[in-house]
């Protein structure tokens, strides 16, 4: 059982400077290392103005945090692959893998906010009905994987050609001539990168997705999917189809849920009532925001109609609790919810976001400590001791 934290650099009140947010992040990650969490996942978000997640470069952030910790792994969730030059990203991640001595996991995504995508790489527009975003993602992924694992490396695709035709190789006297790099007239025909990743052949790779196509694509590309909003039968169906696609791709059938990560908002307090008092305002605010962006259907199960008026009238807290979107409550309640979902869906990788917008640092401190002391040991026991209900 893997128990991870998704960590967002939040500043909803706007009262802290970014440096103060960074200092708070350092303290929480050092605590997570001490308390036995497996990973801290860091997002990539640009131009944050509402205090949701001021994390424009998770690679640099993880480099700082790796130097302050000993055993916890660092996940990029997600690197917005379409917004980076693929060779620069491959190099930066490889250096981070060395700085952390192999404690790097990488989840790739296509970017989710128009303000980010359209201002950093408008060609990756995912809202205009074209396939450009997926095509850019696929080409960048192949380039990152290729330069990590091949030397010499060359590429000819829809958007990139490496090496650039006509590039001359200037050989340093006394250095060895790299094999396979140079053709006629001292022109590059291939090249490689230094360093290769610390983890060979590559760091573990993930994909952040909520769609059926995303899960199927992850299975075909040998990526582990991480998902947030799906629940109930929707989540179960995604897991089943991912398992079937892995079997079709590799010939091996994994257990239901293996390789799949599930993200949930989480907060642990001494009682259910205290947890609700602390978290409900932030949860309702988040619910309202997501309903505006994605519609209420993102919270519902497969057989539920988003147009049904009862969902419009239903209390947001009760709706999200009823559909297991919230791992919030006393240690006993959170243990029961996580155990039940683990059993029904075969979950073996939990990502818990405790520091979501609107939750104070002191409440995050207490939640992390309570979870590690009273919930984590019970959830760890579920590893391989149960199978998902068929």
DSSP-assigned states of every residue in 252-268: --PPTTTT-EEEEEEEE
Q: What's the pLDDT score for residue 387? A: 55
The reply to whether omega before 201 is within 30° of 0 (cis) is yes
384 has a pLDDT exceeding 60: no
The contacts of residue 120 (CB under 8 Å, 6+ apart) are: 46, 80, 83, 111
Residue 46 forms part of a structural domain: yes
> Taking all residues of the chain, what is their mean pLDDT, rounded to a whole number?
95
389 has a pLDDT exceeding 80: no
Residue 237 forms part of a structural domain: no
Per-residue pLDDT band at 385 (split at 50, 70, 90): low
Residue 245 forms part of a structural domain: no
Residues 289-328 pLDDT 10s = 889 888 999 999 999 999 999 998 999 999 999 999 999 9
The contacts of residue 103 (CB under 8 Å, 6+ apart) are: 66, 71, 72, 73, 74
Helix, strand, coil % (nearest 5) of the chain? 45, 15, 40
Q: Which of 68-77, 120-129, 284-293, 336-345 has the lowest mean pLDDT?
A: 284-293
Q: Which of 85-94, 141-150, 257-266, 379-388 has the lowest mean pLDDT?
A: 379-388
Q: What's the pLDDT score for residue 96? A: 98
Shared domain check, 156 and 51:
no
Shared domain check, 175 and 144:
no
Q: What's the pLDDT score for residue 388? A: 60
Residues 105-145 pLDDT 10s = 999 999 989 999 999 999 999 999 999 999 999 999 999 99
Shared domain check, 15 and 77:
yes
Domain span at residue 286 reads 257-390
Last residue of a domain, one of 166, 192, 218: 192
Residue 39 forms part of a structural domain: yes
Last residue of a domain, one of 137, 162, 192: 192
| CATH number for the domain harbouring residue 377 | 3.20.20.30
Residue 239 forms part of a structural domain: no
Residues 266-283 pLDDT 10s = 999 999 999 999 999 999
Residue 96 forms part of a structural domain: yes
Let me know: does 33 contact 72? Beta carbons within 8 Å: yes
Shared domain check, 5 and 93:
yes
Shared domain check, 188 and 42:
no
Shared domain check, 93 and 5:
yes
Shared domain check, 320 and 271:
yes
390 has a pLDDT exceeding 60: no
Residues 150-203 pLDDT 10s = 999 999 999 999 999 999 999 899 999 999 999 999 999 999 999 999 999 999
Residues 197-256 pLDDT 10s = 999 999 999 999 999 999 999 999 999 999 999 999 999 999 999 999 999 999 999 999
Distance, CA of 122 to chain centre: 23
Shared domain check, 86 and 1:
yes
Q: What's the pLDDT score for residue 386? A: 58
Shared domain check, 295 and 201:
no
> Cα dihedral angle (50, 93, 262, 377), rounded to 10 degrees?
-110
Average pLDDT for 61-75: 98
- Per the rule left: phi > 0, alpha: psi between -120 and 50, beta: everything else, 144 is alpha
Shared domain check, 202 and 66:
yes
Taking the C-alpha atoms of residue 264 and residue 233, their distance in angstroms, rounded to an integer, is 16
Residue 97 forms part of a structural domain: yes
Shared domain check, 66 and 204:
yes
Shared domain check, 139 and 49:
yes
Residue 252 forms part of a structural domain: no
Question: SS3 of 187, please?
Answer: strand
Domain count, the chain: 3
């Amino acid at each position: 059982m893997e128990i991870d934290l998704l960590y967002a650099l939040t500043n909803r009140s706007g009262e802290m400077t970014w440096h103060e947010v960074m200092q708070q992040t350092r303290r929480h990650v050092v605590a997570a290392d001490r308390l036995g969490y497996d990973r801290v996942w860091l997002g990539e978000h640009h131009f944050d103005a509402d205090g949701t997640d001021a994390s424009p470069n998770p690679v640099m952030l993880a480099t700082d945090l790796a130097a302050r910790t000993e055993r916890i792994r660092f996940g990029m969730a997600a690197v917005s692959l379409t917004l980076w030059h693929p060779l620069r990203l491959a190099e930066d991640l490889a250096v981070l893998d060395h700085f952390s001595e192999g404690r790097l996991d990488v989840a790739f995504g296509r970017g989710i906010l128009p303000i980010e995508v359209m201002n950093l790489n408008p060609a990756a527009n995912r809202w205009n009905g074209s396939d450009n975003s997926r095509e850019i993602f696929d080409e960048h992924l192949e380039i990152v994987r290729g330069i990590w694992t091949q030397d010499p490396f060359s590429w000819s695709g829809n958007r990139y050609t490496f090496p650039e035709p006509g590039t001359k190789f200037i050989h340093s006297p006394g250095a060895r001539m790299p094999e396979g790099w140079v053709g006629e007239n001292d022109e590059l025909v291939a090249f490689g990168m230094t360093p290769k990743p610390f983890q060979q052949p590559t760091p573990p790779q993930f994909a952040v997705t909520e769609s059926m196509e995303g899960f199927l694509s992850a299975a075909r590309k040998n990526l582990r999917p991480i998902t947030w909003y799906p629940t109930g039968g929707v989540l179960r169906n995604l897991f089943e189809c991912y398992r079937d696609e892995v079997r079709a791709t590799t010939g091996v059938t994994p257990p239901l849920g293996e390789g799949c990560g599930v993200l949930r908002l989480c907060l642990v307090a001494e009682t259910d009532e205290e947890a609700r008092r602390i978290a409900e305002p932030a949860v309702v605010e988040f619910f309202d925001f997501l309903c505006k962006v994605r519609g209420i259907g993102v919270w519902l199960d497969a057989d539920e109609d988003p147009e049904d008026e009862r969902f419009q009238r239903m209390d947001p807290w009760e709706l999200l609790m009823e559909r297991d979107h919230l791992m919030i409550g006393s240690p006993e309640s959170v243990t029961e919810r996580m155990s039940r979902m683990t059993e029904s869906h075969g979950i073996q990788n939990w990502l818990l976001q405790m520091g979501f917008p609107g939750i104070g640092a002191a409440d995050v401190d207490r939640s992390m400590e309570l979870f590690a002391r009273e919930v984590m040991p019970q959830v760890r026991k579920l590893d391989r001791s149960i199978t998902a209900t068929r």
